[in-house]
């Protein structure tokens, strides 16, 4: 009889993208480029929101939460993926794998929650503009962000604990670029029904609740905007929601693909396709959100132009 210690591997081997091993170096370039854009863009947004007084408003505080979440989410996976592609550093310790799993799943849940909070923010701003600053005060924003984070942590910790207790005797090779919960659980020779059912419940509970809140918010927003008499007012109100709608599309589209693949499409879709989309799920929103908000949000554009204008004036003055 083997005890639990004997059935707990010291490390796993992340095998990258199966079937595309010869193309790992080429695949790494778009991944690396997107990661650099994500880090620079989100750090730039955080800097602007922190130091520009004109951006000290609820909408931008929620955007700062989204940027911070995006940074953690993509930084939990991409550096390790690049080390696999470039240097063949495929080993990852068992505990490190669980830590990576915790950060990935916690901050993907956090991302969904922040997008929901941003939808509620747009609802209050458009439907109750005169009470916007009194409803969404700084303490309310802090409590909402903290509640969203605690919701993610409290839902993911049991999943990590269940995965840690499983006996592993089906090898230690994970056909993925990061420690996905289901990919790790499949290496177990124990019963993983609890993992599958709990993971499914969390996905349906979080996704269902957040999407319902977003849908209701935008339904109320649409009703309020349509009732406006001025075409300019309608266009301006819709314009404030454009960037957020793009962020929702970038976040939920690959998430739906991964969800349905894991449950229904594992025998019809190549694993390499699933793993690439799974990486895009963690990389696409952090890359695109700063670009979309920088292009679509006038206040952020003005702040960027102001910074470049000031730096140009300083250089010309020094000359």
Say if 3 falls within a structural domain. no
Domain-embedded: residue 318: no
Give domain status of residue 169, yes or no.
Answer: yes
Looking at residue 319, its pLDDT comes to 60
Q: What is the DSSP string of 138-195?
A: HHHHHHHHHHHHHHHHHHHHHHHHHHHHS-B-S-SEESSSS--HHHHHTTBSS--HHH
Neighbours of 204 (CB within 10 A): 11
Contact 110, 152 (CB under 8 A): yes
Digit-coded pLDDT (tens) for 155-165: 999 999 999 99
Q: Residue 247: pLDDT above 90?
A: yes
Question: 223 in helix, strand or coil?
Answer: helix
Residue 316 lies in a domain: no
Residue 244 lies in a domain: yes
Q: How many domains does the chain have?
A: 1
Residue 157 falls inside a structural domain: yes
In this predicted model, what pLDDT tens digit does every residue of 84-140 receive, in sequence order?
999 999 999 999 999 999 999 999 999 999 999 999 999 999 999 899 999 999 999
For the domain that residue 299 is a member of, what is the CATH number? Answer: 1.20.1070.10
Pairing of strands 11-14, 173-174: parallel
Question: What range does the domain containing 58 cover?
Answer: 11-311
pLDDT at 8: 84
Return the structure tokens found at 133: 């600053």
264 pLDDT more than 80: no
pLDDT digits (tens, 9 = 90+) for 13-44: 999 998 898 999 999 999 999 999 999 999 99
Residue corresponding to tokens 């310790």? 93
Closest CA to 270 of 20, 5, 14: 20
Q: Is 317 a member of any domain?
A: no
Contact 91, 11 (CB under 8 A): yes
Q: Which 8-state DSSP code applies to residue 180? A: -
- Answer whether 0.85 is exceeded by the pTM: yes
Q: What angle do CA 281, 289, 86 make, to 5 degrees?
A: 50
Whether 267 has a pLDDT exceeding 60, the answer reads yes
Per-residue model confidence (pLDDT) at position 1? 46
DSSP code at position 23: G
Query: Could you tell me what percent of the chain has a pLDDT over 90?
Result: 67
Helix (H) or strand (E) holding 92: strand 91-93
Q: How far apart are CA 125 and CA 104, in angstroms?
A: 31
Domain membership of residue 2 (yes or no) is: no
């Amino acid at each position: 009889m083997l005890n639990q210690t004997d059935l707990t591997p010291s490390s796993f081997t992340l095998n990258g993208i199966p079937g595309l091993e010869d193309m790992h170096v080429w695949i790494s370039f778009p991944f690396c480029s997107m990661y650099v854009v994500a880090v620079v863009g989100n750090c730039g947004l955080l800097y602007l929101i922190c130091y520009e007084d004109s951006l000290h408003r609820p909408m931008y505080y929620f955007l700062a939460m989204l940027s911070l979440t995006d940074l953690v989410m993509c930084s939990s996976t991409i550096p390790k993926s690049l080390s696999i592609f470039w240097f063949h550093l495929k080993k990852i310790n068992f505990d490190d794998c669980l830590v990576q799993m915790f950060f990935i799943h916690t901050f993907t849940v956090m991302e969904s929650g922040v997008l929901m909070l941003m939808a509620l923010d747009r609802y209050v701003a458009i439907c109750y503009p005169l009470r916007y600053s009194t409803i969404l005060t700084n303490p309310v924003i802090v409590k909402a962000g903290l509640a969203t984070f605690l919701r993610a942590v409290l839902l993911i910790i049991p999943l990590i604990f269940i995965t840690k207790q499983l006996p592993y005797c089906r090898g230690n090779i994970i056909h993925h670029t990061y420690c996905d919960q289901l990919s790790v659980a499949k290496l177990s020779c124990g019963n993983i029904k609890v993992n599958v059912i709990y993971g499914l419940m969390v996905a349906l509970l979080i996704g269902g609740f957040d999407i319902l809140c977003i849908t209701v918010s935008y339904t109320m927003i649409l009703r309020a905007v349509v009732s406006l008499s001025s075409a300019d007012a309608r266009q301006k109100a819709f314009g404030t929601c454009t960037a957020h709608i793009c962020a929702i599309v970038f976040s939920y589209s690959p998430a739906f693909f991964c969800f349905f693949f894991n449950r229904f499409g594992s025998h019809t879709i190549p694993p390499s396709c699933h793993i690439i989309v799974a990486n895009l799920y963690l990389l696409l929103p952090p890359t695109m959100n700063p670009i979309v908000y920088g292009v679509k949000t006038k206040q952020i554009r003005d702040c960027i132009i102001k910074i470049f204008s000031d730096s140009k004036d300083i250089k010309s003055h020094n000359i």
